């Protein structure tokens, strides 16, 4: 029994972190593990071609992980079976609990390599890559599970593609509830995920299905899992600025704007309803204060600089800073100051300290 099956026997639905380029790096994963550990952690995707090139050592930094992150899955992308086999061998030797193959990324540079979502159009290549990863794990003398992350289809929903993957003897299949053509321009359609679960039951009942797309809270994830029948739920963008996401006792609560919308001014009973709902919600949890959010943001920046500052631009982490600084009075001004003047963790801390002093 692999760790996926053991997890599924203990908890359903389980929650996992989505692999996101320049997001789920070692610093972000360490921070998430500290404040609200998910059931399974994922690395950002790593190029198998790159791991077989002179740039191998720098890319291996993306695969660095700590024991507190377990179970952790390494995600690889690539269309060259030889390179995928070698990369899988490396990941298995590094001690990962599982290996995932990216067959859904819509990035054009990835697709030009025949990888990511491009594989939806080339099942024969996808099959070769899956077999190569299996061989790589075997070469390492390991026995860890393989999973695949994909989309509903390329231009249209493609159940033949999903069926093909289910026949490949993989432990887990994650499906983003959009097509490649959809990108993120339309809402995720979990009705199709429900159909995929039924297809799984017919073709590969032992393969676990993870649903992905537009999950903004644990409650919503549980509801989507209940309606669709998935075994697990993958969370992505909702983690930005919210490393407490997986802790049911904590919640980031936005305050009522100082300049409330006109409807709140014209209809006081609506404002009262809003505040009552908020108080009822807060009474069940320990709210995360603005000071705590900003303190953790500074901690995130310091971790990033310490772990990756010598190989990655500090600007990459600003997407996280934008997410931390929202939903409170003065947030806009603080965001502008951070975007324009913060070029390292020390400058972030100085700007935040000044902001909190003047509040």
Helices (H), the chain: 3-10, 26-36, 56-60, 81-94, 108-111, 123-139, 159-166, 190-203, 218-228, 262-266, 268-282, 290-308, 318-324, 331-341, 345-358
Give, for 348, the enclosing helix (H) or strand (E): helix 345-358
Phi/psi for 102 (5° steps) reads -80, 115
* Catalytic hit among 91, 105, 118, 301: 105
In whole angstroms, give the CA distance from residue 274 to residue 279: 9
CA dihedral 348, 354, 357, 359 (to 10 degrees): -90
Q: Is 105 a catalytic residue?
A: yes
Q: Give 233's strand partners.
A: 15, 211
* Residues carrying an active site annotation: 105
């Amino acid at each position: 029994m692999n760790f996926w099956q053991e997890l599924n026997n203990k908890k359903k639905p389980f929650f996992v972190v989505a692999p996101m380029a320049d997001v789920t790096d070692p610093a972000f994963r360490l921070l998430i593990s500290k404040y609200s550990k998910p059931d399974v952690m994922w690395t950002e995707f790593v190029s198998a071609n790159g791991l077989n090139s002179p740039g191998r050592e720098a890319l291996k930094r993306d695969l660095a992980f700590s024991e507190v992150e377990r179970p952790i899955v390494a995600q690889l992308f690539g269309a060259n079976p030889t390179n995928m086999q070698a990369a899988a061998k490396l990941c298995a030797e590094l001690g990962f609990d599982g290996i995932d193959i990216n067959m859904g990324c819509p990035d054009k540079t990835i697709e030009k390599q025949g990888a990511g979502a491009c594989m939806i159009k080339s099942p024969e290549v996808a099959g070769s890559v899956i077999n190569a990863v299996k061989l790589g794990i075997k070469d390492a003398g390991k026995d860890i599970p393989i999973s695949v992350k994909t989309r509903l289809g390329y231009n249209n929903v493609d159940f033949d593609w999903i069926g093909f993957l289910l026949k490949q003897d993989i432990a887990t299949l994650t499906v983003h509830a959009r097509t490649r053509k959809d990108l993120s321009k339309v809402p995720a359609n979990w009705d199709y995920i429900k159909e995929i679960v039924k297809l799984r039951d017919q073709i590969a009942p032992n393969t676990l299905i993870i649903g992905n797309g537009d999950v903004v809270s644990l409650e919503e994830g549980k509801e989507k899992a209940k309606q669709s029948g998935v075994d697990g739920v993958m969370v992505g963008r909702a983690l930005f600025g919210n490393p407490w996401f997986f802790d049911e006792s904590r919640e980031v609560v936005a305050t009522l704007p100082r300049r409330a919308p006109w409807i709140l001014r014209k209809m006081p009973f609506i404002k009262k309803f809003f505040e009552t709902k908020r108080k009822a919600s807060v009474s069940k949890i320990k709210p995360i204060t603005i000071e705590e959010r900003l303190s953790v943001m500074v901690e995130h920046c310091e971790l990033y600089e310490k772990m990756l500052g010598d190989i990655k631009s500090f600007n990459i982490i600003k997407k996280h800073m934008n997410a931390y600084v929202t939903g409170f009075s003065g947030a806009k001004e603080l965001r502008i100051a951070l975007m324009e003047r913060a070029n390292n963790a020390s400058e972030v801390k100085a700007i935040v300290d000044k902001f909190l002093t003047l509040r």
